[in-house]
Structure 1
Amino acid sequence: MADASQTLAALSNRLAEQASALARAVSSPVEAPAYLDLVRRARSADDLAEQVLKLCVQQCRDAGHTWQEIGDLLGVTRQAAFQRFGKPIDPRTGEPMDKTVRMADAAERSIAIVTAVLEGRMEEARRSFNAQVLEAFTDEVRGDALATVAGLVGAFEGFGEGEPFVRRIGDHTVVDIPLRYEAGDMKARVAFDTDEKVAGLFILAPETP
């Protein structure tokens, strides 16, 4: 705990220094080329803030606070908080699970696949499916699913606000994409397997963990 506290204190001091430097920079007259430097400084402060937040969450957990408490504080579900900050153990090996997202283009590919499915370009979409999804995701299944969604929230109007949420869950890379319908919001979820093929494709209520 002492080492974690010292690391947190050191990172917090660095964050304070970078935030102060950024505040001084934006309070002075800025010419066009210098705006890129502001972005660089802000990005660096953001990276440090993320490290500080992770350590604070770790200390909360070490002190006995629940994922529900942490999720409530962050405005997310307890599962979302765990997926972002937790350290799950692989029951197959007893080792910490790798949460590194290695698919650099996961968000872009997911948007392209969801767009193809919504627009009925299934031949294009199926090129990204693994064998199980290729067999299961028939035109009839697609039609039934879209009809169910239309019955809930009406016609599809476009992608919603916010960036796709990409994370590693077990052996899968999972992407959630905000969707906008005439009577409410939904989200598409695309799961990629280790071969970077689509292992699951769903349209869900936005609050679904």
Structure 2
Amino acid sequence: MDTIREAHQALNQAKGQLQAAVQRARSQGHTWAEIGETLGMSRQAAFKRFGEVANPVTDQKITGAPMSIEKVQRTTEQVFDLISAGKYEDLESLIHPEARRELPTSLIAETWARLLTEVGAKESYGDTHVVLPAGERIEEDAQLLGVVVGVTTLNCEAGEMMGRVAVDDQLRIVGLLIVTPEYSPLPF
């Protein structure tokens, strides 16, 4: 058990060193694109993982919030469970208050009814995962700035659809999309 504990401490120390190295690189004028390229990720992924911004009104530092991949995956499937069961009041409680204007439950219900006529009822999920808005997969829990997107394949009676649920750092829905798997370009 000591070896596991030591390895875990070393991992946490390495994460801290990486965070500090990225901040030093930024203070030396390196761009997020350069940092992302060095780390083998997009500039958006680098910014979301390591970025720090200041609120222009309060000058208070804004950093990423801990995001649990498992919780985002569960929330994504919960959203489609509620939609497919017609539990729109329960769904509405998960939607960010500002997003409710753009995502009224009446629109969600109408969209789901159209989906039913095309591919039938939802039977299961496949490959539920989490991505950044630009599409890059997030494989492990991390401190992230801003919105992430839960993505799942909705396996239905007569076909498949892709469900996308954009959530903020409090797991509130800020975007919802149901499209064919090959649909492109994706808005988030």
Q: Normalising by the residue count of structure 1, what TM-score does the alignment of the two structures yield?
A: 0.55
Trace 1:23-172 onto structure 2 (pairs within 5 A): 36-97=1-62, 99=63, 101=65, 110-119=72-81, 120-121=84-85, 122-123=87-88, 124-135=90-101, 136-141=103-108, 144=111, 157-160=126-129, 162-163=139-140, 167-169=144-146
- More RCO (CA 8 Å, sep 6+): 2
What CA deviation, in whole Å up to 9, does each residue of 1:134-158 have, x standing for no partner?
A: 45332433654895xx99xxx9524
Q: Aligned partners of 2:143 and 2:154: how far apart in 1? A: 22
Q: Which amino acid aligns with 2:165?
A: A
Trace 1:174-193 onto structure 2 (pairs within 5 A): 174-180=147-153, 188-191=165-168
Q: Which amino acid aligns with 1:90?
A: N
Q: Aligned partners of 2:143 and 2:80: how far apart in 1? A: 20
Q: Which amino acid aligns with 1:66?
A: T
**Post-superposition shift, 1:93?**
1.8
**Post-superposition shift, 1:89?**
1.5
Q: Aligned partners of 1:208 and 1:37: how far apart in 2? A: 47
Name the structure with the higher strand share.
2
Name stretches of at least 5 consecutive residues in structure 1 with no aligned partner. 1-35
Larger radius of gyration between Structure 1 and Structure 2: 1
The corresponding residue for 1:8 is: none
> SS of the counterpart of 2:152?
strand
**Post-superposition shift, 1:96?**
2.1
Name the structure with the higher helix share.
1
The corresponding residue for 2:181 is: none
**Post-superposition shift, 1:175?**
4.1
Identity fraction in percent:
22
**Post-superposition shift, 1:118?**
1.8
> SS of the counterpart of 1:201?
strand
CA shift in 2, pair 1:42/1:197, >3 Å: closer
Q: Normalising by the residue count of structure 2, what TM-score does the alignment of the two structures yield?
A: 0.60
Q: Aligned partners of 1:184 and 1:56: how far apart in 2? A: 42
